[in-house]
Amino acid sequence: MTVTKINSDHYRLMAGLLDFPEHGLIEQVNEVRTFLDSRYPDAVDNFRPFYELVKEISVDDIQELYTRTFEVQAITTLDLGYLLFGDDYKRAELLVNLNREHNTVGNNCGHELADHLPNVIRLITLLEDDELRRELLKKLIIPGLKKMIGDFDPEKLEKKNEVYVKHHKTLIELKEHSGTFYQFPIITLLSMIEMDFELTAIEKEETSDFLTSLSTEMKIED
């Protein structure tokens, strides 16, 4: 399926949900819920926990959760290249190539890097080259989303927390009811892609693991 058959606004809205949350988030979430109901009914259940929580807690609380999920003592990362390759030279090559594509279509990456998930999702809505779009989905976006989702596994969470406690001597507490709720828009996005594109992800023979990369970084800092 080509991008002309996909509502690019839907993907840009999903990308917006994975930006740092600002006021107006509830309106974004309502828009997403509306198009999921009409176009992706099988993905609605995946999105519901996120939708319900955003309605109940403050933007400040959501910002805190976003930071804890992706930035400080992170559960996972939205930087696809780092997620798949760590600090390997392959990520550097990926960033160079992605920067070129972002610049070609005029996609402003803001203060984030070229492989940041929201930036890459916006990029695929702007590309005219359908083959390049499919390659990005198969080799970068789908494998990256699956790794992100895997990072929310309770066993992996426990191991990451052990690393953080060992290095920082303390752990930023996550609210029990909402600590991992950012997995739900990620799962929803993957479901949308799988419905819109008949693609099988190209699995990497050697890819980084966020926990391994995290442990290595901590050792280097020590």
Q: What is the mean pLDDT of residues 7-35?
A: 95
Tell me the residue type at 196: D
The three-class DSSP label of residue 116 is strand
Q: What is the mean pLDDT of residues 78-95?
A: 93
**Distance of alpha carbon 6 from its chain centroid, rounded?**
20
pTM of the entire structure?
A: 0.85
pLDDT of 4: 45
pLDDT of 218: 44
pLDDT of 3: 46
Residue 96 neighbours by CB distance under 10 Å: 10
pLDDT of 122: 97
Higher pLDDT, 110 or 216: 110
| Per-residue pLDDT at 5 exceeds 60 | no
pLDDT of 178: 59
pLDDT of 2: 47
pLDDT of 159: 75
pLDDT of 208: 60
How many domains does the chain divide into? Answer: 1
User: What are 168-214's pLDDT values in tens digits?
Assistant: 556 566 665 457 899 999 999 999 999 998 775 554 444 566 545 54
| Per-residue pLDDT at 134 exceeds 80 | yes
CB 16, CB 28: distance < 8 Å: yes
* Type and span of the H or E element at 48: helix 44-56
Q: What range does the domain containing 164 cover?
A: 3-221
Q: Rounded CA gap, 124 and 221, in Å?
A: 36
Lowest model confidence (mean pLDDT) among 27-41, 85-99, 152-166, 197-211? 197-211
Q: Rounded CA gap, 97 and 100, in Å?
A: 5
- Identify the bridge partners of residue 116 per DSSP, sorted by sequence position: 79
pLDDT of 154: 84
CATH number at residue 17: 1.10.3480.10
Q: What is the mean pLDDT of residues 117-137?
A: 95
Percentage of the chain with pLDDT > 90?
A: 67
Q: Rounded CA gap, 222 and 219, in Å?
A: 5
| Per-residue pLDDT at 98 exceeds 80 | yes
Q: What is the mean pLDDT of residues 1-30?
A: 86
